[in-house]
Amino acid sequence: MTKGQDNSIWTELWESIKFCKESKSGKYSLDTYLDIVSEYTDRQIKLAEDEGLIYLGGECQITNLGEKATYNFEITMFFEDCSGAKILKEAKRKLPKDRFVSETNSKIGEKIKFDIQRPK
């Protein structure tokens, strides 16, 4: 094992310990919070389809507000009614950065986007 590999193992171990500690204190990982967002969007799509709307697509955008201590989550979903009229449904939420594990900042960068798929 080279010195670089040895340092990498210790760094990875330290990051794992830090993640466990932050998670136990109630902080979200980005993946965990995106699972929550996914459950929300799935429910909204199913409710809209129950009302006769057709889901066309959507996206979730997460913006790192830089020096501000918050992340901005924006959900945009597009639907069509039986007459062909387009309907936009949006949800926005600002969450404090201290509710997330420390690695979240590097994962988001300045901004990150995800497509919202229709639930199966």
Residue 83 near residue 54, CB atoms below 8 Å: no
**What pLDDT shows up at residue 120?**
85
78 domain-assigned: yes
Q: Is residue 105 part of a domain?
A: yes
CA separation for the pair 30, 18 (Å, rounded): 15
Q: Which among 95, 102, 109 has a CA at the least distance from the CA of 19?
A: 102
pLDDT over 90 (residue 12): no
What's the domain range around 106?
27-115
The half-sphere exposure of 27 on its side-chain side, counting CA atoms within 13 A, is 18
Q: Residue 24 above 90 pLDDT?
A: no
DSSP letter string, 28-49: BPHHHHHHHHHHHHHHHHHHHH
- For the cut 90, the answer to whether the pLDDT of residue 109 exceeds it is no
Looking at residue 39, its pLDDT comes to 92
Report if residue 120 sits inside a domain. no
How far is residue 63's CA from residue 73's CA, in Å, rounded to a whole number?
7
Q: Is residue 17 part of a domain?
A: no
pLDDT at 81 over 90: yes
E-assigned strands of the chain? 54-64, 70-80, 86-96, 111-115
Total domain count, the chain: 1
On whether the CB atoms of residues 76 and 37 are closer than 8 A, the answer is: no
Mean pLDDT, residues 72-76 taken together: 95
Query: Which of the pair, 34 or 9, is modelled with greater confidence?
Result: 34
Residue among 101, 113, 111, 24 nearest 71 (CA): 111
> Which has more confidence, 22 or 56?
56
- The average pLDDT across 12-35 equals 66
